[in-house]
C-alpha cells in the first residue's frame, strides 16, 4: 500500500473511532476498505489510488467481477457489507475534502442502482447457475 493510501486508511480508522462505533465494526469497515485498495486497486492498477478508485469503472469491476469470482467468501450479504464500508470510507474522504460531493453522490447512486444486480449475479455464480444460462 502506498503512503497516501495508508494515510487515508489510518484517517478512516480514526474517523470511525470518533463516530463511537464498536471496535468490531471499525475493524470490519477498515478491513473491507483496505481490501478494496490493497487487493484490488493496488494489485490490478498501478496508477490508481483510493481517490481515483471511486470511479464507477473500478467499483463496478470490483463488485460485479473481481469480488464475485476471486473472493471465496462473496455472498450477497458480504457484498452489501463491502458496499457499506466503501460508502463510509468515501464519505470520510469527502468530509476531508479529498473527493467532491458529486463524486460521493455518484458512488451512492451506483450502489443504489447496481448493488442488487451485483448481489443477484453473486447468487447465480455461487449456485453454479452461470454456466447453465443460455
pLDDT tens figures, 93-119 = 999 999 999 999 999 999 999 999 999
Measured between its terminal Cα atoms, the distance across the chain in Å is 41
Structural domain boundaries, residue 49: 3-131
DSSP-assigned letter for residue 129: G
* pLDDT score of 131: 53
Please give the grid coordinates belonging to residue 8. 487515508
Number of domains in the chain: 1
Instruction: Please classify residue 57 by burial: count the beta carbons closer than 10 Å to its beta carbon, then call 0-12 exposed, 13-18 middle and 19+ buried.
Output: exposed
* pLDDT score of 129: 65
* This prediction's pTM: 0.92
CA distance 32 to 28: 6
Instruction: Please classify residue 82 by burial: count the beta carbons closer than 10 Å to its beta carbon, then call 0-12 exposed, 13-18 middle and 19+ buried.
Output: buried
DSSP string, 106-130: HHHHHHHHHHHHHHHHHHHHHTTGG
Please give the grid coordinates belonging to residue 126. 455461487
Helical spans, DSSP H, in 23-100 = 23-35, 43-44, 56-61, 67-70, 76-95
In the predicted model, residues of the chain with pLDDT beneath 50 are 132-134
CA distance 74 to 56: 20
* pLDDT score of 132: 44
Amino acid at each position: 500500500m502506498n503512503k497516501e493510501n495508508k494515510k487515508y486508511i489510518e484517517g478512516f480508522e480514526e474517523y470511525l473511532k470518533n463516530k463511537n462505533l464498536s471496535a468490531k465494526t471499525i475493524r470490519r469497515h477498515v478491513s473491507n476498505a483496505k481490501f478494496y485498495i490493497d487487493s484490488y486497486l493496488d494489485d490490478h492498477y498501478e496508477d490508481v489510488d483510493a481517490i481515483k478508485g471511486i470511479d464507477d469503472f473500478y467499483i463496478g469491476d470490483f463488485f460485479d467481477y473481481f469480488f464475485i469470482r476471486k473472493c471465496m467468501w462473496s455472498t450477497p450479504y458480504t457484498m452489501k457489507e463491502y458496499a457499506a464500508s466503501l460508502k463510509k470510507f468515501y464519505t470520510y474522504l469527502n468530509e476531508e475534502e479529498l473527493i467532491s460531493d458529486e463524486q460521493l453522490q455518484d458512488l451512492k447512486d451506483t450502489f443504489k442502482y447496481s448493488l442488487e444486480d451485483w448481489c443477484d449475479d453473486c447468487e447465480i455464480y455461487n449456485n453454479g447457475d452461470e454456466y447453465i444460462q443460455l
